[in-house]
Amino acid sequence: METHDRASSAEDSPTPKGTPALLHIGLAVGALGVVFGDIGTSPLYALKGCFAPGHGLPVSDVTVMGLLSLFLWSLVIVIGLKYAWFILRADNKGEGGVFALLALAAPKSSRTIEGIPLALLILAIAGASLLYADGVLTPSISVLSAYEGLEVASPTFARGNALAANPIVLALTIATIAGIFSVQRLGTGVIGRAFGPIMIAWFLVISLLGALEIAHNPAVLEAANPVWIARLVVLHPWATFTALGAVILCITGGEALYADLGHFGRGAIRHAWYFVAMPALILNYFGQGARILTESTRLGESPFIDAASRGVDYNPFYSIVPEWALYPMVVLAAAATIIASQAIITGMFSLTYQAIQLGCLPRFRVVHTSNHGGHVFVPVVNTVAGIGCILIVAMFGTSERLDDAYGLAVAAVMVFTTILYTYVMHHRHGWGAVPCTLFLSTFLSIDLVFLAANLMKIAHGGWLTLLIGAFLMFIMWTWIVGRRVLAQRFARQTLAFDHLLNNLETHPIHRVSGTAVFLTPLEDGVPPTLMHHLKHNKVLHDQVAIMSIKAAPVPVVDAQDQVTVEELRQGFWKITASHGFNQRPDAPELLRLAADEGFKTIEGNTTYFLGRTILTPRGNSRVPAFQKRVFCALAQISANNPTHFGIPPGRMVELGIQIDL
């Protein structure tokens, strides 16, 4: 897998050199099971949401054909062209995602995110925060909309009121969501083995259902002509604009194409999209449109209005399913939405891990569930997201109401991605003013129209997306600012090495056998933990290593590039180590790598010294008092250093140091 990832970053061809065809097919199948779970289940609710009463669109030839044309060209331009063709090119050593893109925005000479322009850093943090909001909304609306098929399958499950929540559907949805989050600790590999075949079945079934319906009303294929969009806008300008807030639901999950780049490779994702997912989605949407037109002709009125008058809900997706297949389809849809939920949950874990490695979040406990660096489980994220999903389902009750909360995050992240990508391509890949202007004007204008339409949903549910995103953005920004202030405070307490070594030459201190490793976030100067140790213990080991471990803005740092060693005087060594944001920092392993640079030690005679920093908000920094308190609280719940750095508990000594922020 790693060979494939590296090759993918180096080659523009969809299939990396030397990759067997069977492996490529297997990756494409895997991509169907993980990458396209979210966007693949959007037919359950996207077209239905466009005809919600709040949009004011009547059912007619112009509205149905215009919406189908909007769906088609959104899938082709936004997903097929922008993401699958352009954005996938911006890989960071084979990895994708908003933090990988952020790392690419750093100066080439920099191995940290410190050199990234502030505006881009804020955009990336905002995008990541909104992806978390999307992560709690996707399982909610997907699973809920799948079980709402029961209302079509049998009168037993009918609500009696089209606007009311169905207690049976709610109970099944909450139980399923609880089950999804409860098995996450098993790991992505175990959970995802059957995802590909299930999603292949899903795409084949929805393709067949759509094609059969199109065969009864082939005139619907004329919607491929974008002229229908112009007719729709001219006839219903304001209603069309507000309906774009539902149209965007057909492209939710587009970020997953980029986020999961490192797992499957550019070629596999593209082939899975162009040859399976996109044709299936288009066929199904056109089939739903054909059924709506057929039903409106037969009834003489909108099927949505007719269903509401009878106290039931009209669902275009389930309307094209034969009556005998409704229950099996509900089961398949539930399985597909579980996969869609799994994809976004896995994405949240990976996003959190990358954020921790780049210093944008505290060191929450991270469990590696396989040898693949990206397969991680973050318990705190799993618990909070699971509770959040259940509360959202209970609060909104129906997929129609959730439509208003869903989509805003997607629209905003697409705007941020377009801007970041243009910056990266200009500064890293030499795009001139003309290509940048063409790309930005084309795709950013589309993104901004979708974003403007979704801003109309704030009062009706979009506020929840903004609330979640704003809270998480505040947490990330507080952690970044607090870490910078903390580094400044450490720097003030740091003594120059020459001063310490000169003092040891004139005033020798008792030395004991063995090696002492002092871990510090500072690359220069004597760490406060060493000074604290000298002050209280008045003794030094024969060999003293000052180790600084930094997260580089790349997914993986090769072993030969991870460690640099500098021998000082008096048995002192300076070790500078780095790791990628998809690698786990392991201090003992880094010491073994340092042996190739001349540093020799015996693991059994090595003691690691770490500072247990006690933070208080009583300092004179310009950070607001409330933000200081939040940072102190985050630092307290952060995972402890020995666990984070892989240090055996029996080889570690912690020294307490108080820092006033």
pLDDT, tens digit, 9 for 90 and up, residues 477-491? 999 888 888 877 777
Does residue 640 form part of some domain? yes
Does residue 440 form part of some domain? yes
Q: What is the pLDDT of residues 34-87, one digit of tens each?
A: 778 889 989 998 999 899 887 889 999 999 999 999 999 999 999 999 999 999
DSSP string, 315-361: -HHHHTS-GGGHHHHHHHHHHHHHHHHHHHHHHHHHHHHHHHHTTSS
Looking at the fold, whether 517 and 451 belong to one and the same domain comes out as: no
Looking at the fold, whether 364 and 422 belong to one and the same domain comes out as: yes
What pairing do the DSSP bridges indicate for beta strands 367-368 and 376-377?
A: antiparallel
Looking at the fold, whether 506 and 440 belong to one and the same domain comes out as: no
Question: How high is the pLDDT of residue 23?
Answer: 59
- Is a pLDDT exceeding 90 seen at residue 565? yes
Looking at the fold, whether 295 and 213 belong to one and the same domain comes out as: yes
Looking at the fold, whether 55 and 171 belong to one and the same domain comes out as: yes
Does residue 56 form part of some domain? yes
Tell me the three state secondary structure of residue 306.
helix
Looking at the fold, whether 295 and 385 belong to one and the same domain comes out as: yes
Tell me the three state secondary structure of residue 36.
coil
Does residue 476 form part of some domain? no
Looking at the fold, whether 404 and 498 belong to one and the same domain comes out as: no
Does residue 196 form part of some domain? yes
| Strand order across the beta sheet in which 540-551 lies | 563-567, 572-579, 540-551, 511-520, 606-616, 652-660
Helices (runs of H) and strands (runs of E) counted in the chain: 31, 8
Question: How high is the pLDDT of residue 377?
Answer: 82
**CA–CA separation, 70 vs 429, rounded Å?**
32
Long-range contacts of 522-527 (CB under 8 A, 24+ apart): 522/487, 522/490, 522/491, 522/494, 522/548, 523/548, 523/550, 523/576, 524/494, 524/497, 525/491, 525/494, 525/495, 525/496, 525/497, 526/494, 526/495, 526/496, 526/497, 526/500, 527/490, 527/494, 527/611
Contact 501, 572 (CB under 8 A): yes
Torsion angles phi and psi, residue 301, rounded to 5: -155, 175
Looking at the fold, whether 508 and 417 belong to one and the same domain comes out as: no
Looking at the fold, whether 141 and 220 belong to one and the same domain comes out as: yes
Question: How high is the pLDDT of residue 187?
Answer: 64
Interval 100-128 mean pLDDT: 77
Q: What is the residue range of 22's domain?
A: 2-455
**CA–CA separation, 387 vs 131, rounded Å?**
17
- Is a pLDDT exceeding 70 seen at residue 624? yes
Tell me the three state secondary structure of residue 577.
strand
Please report which helix (H) or strand (E) contains residue 60, including its range: none
Q: Which is more confident, 92 or 291? A: 291
Looking at the fold, whether 656 and 534 belong to one and the same domain comes out as: yes
Q: What is the pLDDT of residues 392-440, one digit of tens each?
A: 999 888 877 887 788 888 899 999 999 999 998 998 888 999 999 999 9
Q: What is the pLDDT of residues 238-271, one digit of tens each?
A: 999 999 999 999 998 887 778 777 667 788 889 8
Torsion 654-655-658-661 (CA) sign: negative
Does residue 528 form part of some domain? yes
Q: What is the pLDDT of residues 24-36, one digit of tens each?
A: 676 677 677 777 8
Looking at the fold, whether 163 and 25 belong to one and the same domain comes out as: yes
Looking at the fold, whether 444 and 506 belong to one and the same domain comes out as: no
Mean pLDDT estimate for the chain: 84
The residue among 386, 362, 370, 372 whose CA lies nearest residue 643 is: 362
Does residue 480 form part of some domain? no
DSSP state of 51: T
Task: Say which CATH number the domain at 378 has.
Answer: 1.20.1740.10
Torsion 528-531-535-538 (CA) sign: positive
Q: How many domains does the chain have?
A: 2
Does residue 23 form part of some domain? yes
Residue 36 has which token pair? 């396209």
Contact 112, 578 (CB under 8 A): no
In the Cβ-directed half-sphere of 107, how many Cα atoms lie within 13 Å? 6
Is the pTM of the predicted complex or chain greater than 0.95?
Answer: no
